Amino acid sequence: MNPRTRAIVGVVFMSALLLLYFAFVGIRAVALLSSGEAVAISMGVALLILPLIGVWALVRELQFGSRATKLADRLEAEGRLPEEPVATLPSGRPRREDADAAFPRYRAEVEADPESWRAWMRLGIVYDACGDRKRARGAIRHAIEREQAEARAASSQD
């Protein structure tokens, strides 16, 4: 099984477990709501709200992952993924020092063309290789927004 298939199976499995957990919490919440006691009703309301927030967060993460994967696939099909030679750790993660050395090039690409989703996506991939997940997600989120804006502009011209 290739790494992408393993990742998809893992996401589906964990999402299913999370949804099962939300269902059990919902059942408990309904039981508390029907008890008639003020404290139990308050807890029941809280137990209904928390799974709703969890489902919202799960959907957002799945959408982010799907959109990011599609953009990465497009970059790969175009032959534009970052491909600097980077030494890796035994875990397969790139060595941070090597990834950091590649960073200025991709940052300069974004500064030269801040409207390019490709530049933002490449920067996000390099941030991730550097181990900076927060900035990687931000850059990839920006790439998704730029790509969607580009698609809307192209469809409005048709």
| CA 117 and chain centroid, separation | 16
pLDDT, position 107: 92
Do 99 and 130 form a contact (C-beta atoms < 8 A)?
Answer: yes
CATH match for 96-157 among 2.60.40.1120, 2.60.120.20, 2.70.160.11, 1.25.40.10: 1.25.40.10
pLDDT, position 135: 92
pLDDT in tens, 112-139: 999 999 999 999 998 887 778 899 999 9
pTM score? 0.79
pLDDT, position 131: 77
**Residue 94 pairs with which residues in a beta bridge?**
88
Mean pLDDT by 10 residues, the chain (158 residues): 85 93 90 92 91 89 94 93 77 73 88 95 88 91 95 84
**How is the chain split into domains, by residue range?**
3-78, 96-157
Instruction: Quickly tell me which residue has 């996506």 as its tokens.
Output: 121
Whole-angstrom distance, CA of residue 144 vs CA of residue 150: 10
